[in-house]
Copies of this chain bind each other. A is one copy, B any other.
Amino acid sequence: MSAFSTAIASGRKRRGEGHTRREEILQAAKELFLEEGYESTTIRRIADRVGISAPALYLYFRDKEDLLLALCDQTFTHLVDAIDEIERTIEDPLERIRRFGDAYARFGITHPDEYRLVFLSGNIPEAIRKLGHRQATDDPDRPGVKGAIVFGRLVAILAQAEASGLKLNYPPDTCAELCWMAVHGLVAALILKPDFPWSDRDVLINGMLDIHVKGIVRSE
């Protein structure tokens, strides 16, 4: 209670804070997210931690989903960075695909809450529709779009691989969808049923990548 009231009392430095508040809220939400899990992350708890009232959050975020998605994008940026790194350093197309899948899977397993929110909860299209026509579909800062960007990267890598002479068994988009779905299924399973006696993680990841790299490139 004292921490709360002092936060209120000391939080009244009005000038220029409008800038910072949004980041403060995201930071607090992230902490709670990690500390107490997604389930307990309620609007009021986030507001408490920031030191403001719950309705104040609605000055910065349209609704809870908007907040959470913004938070996810922040995290997903790290995955995009990792993909950038791979594209910059790896030349061989097949190895690129492998590394992509590996990075993707490990990112998902390491950030289960964010992964759930972006790839495992109700359709993002609906969420976008709910947000209204506020922004065009290609706005790179719209929350939730980082997930689509990651998938787009895979399509690009595969198209590029095909362009550089690799023979694929399906069109690049279809290949991307198949690969993504499979690795996505792996991540989803490990996240949603963590107590199930799965085989060794590395075996599963490597196995899945083996199977799909083999299954997608024409071998004759």
In the bound complex, residues from chain B placing their C-beta under 8 Å from that of A169 are: 207
Interface membership of A195, Cβ < 8 A: yes
**Interface majority SS (helix, strand, loop, mixed), chain A:** helix
B120 and A193: CB pair below 8 A?
Answer: no
Interface membership of A185, Cβ < 8 A: yes
Number of identical protomers? 2
Flag A153-183 by CB within 8 Å of B: 1 or 0 each. 0000000000000000111011001101111
Q: How far is the CA of A193 from the CA of B208 in the complex (A)?
A: 22
B178 and A207: CB pair below 8 A?
Answer: yes
Closest to A173 in B: B199
How far apart are A141's CB and chain B's nearest CB, in angstroms?
21
Told that A125-B195, A177-B189 touch, could you supply 11 new A-B pairs with CB distance under 8 A? A120-B120, A122-B192, A123-B192, A178-B186, A180-B185, A181-B189, A181-B204, A181-B208, A182-B208, A211-B214, A214-B214
Interface residues of A (CB under 8 A from B): 119-126, 169-171, 173-174, 177-178, 180-186, 188-189, 192-196, 198-199, 203-204, 207-208, 210-212, 214-216
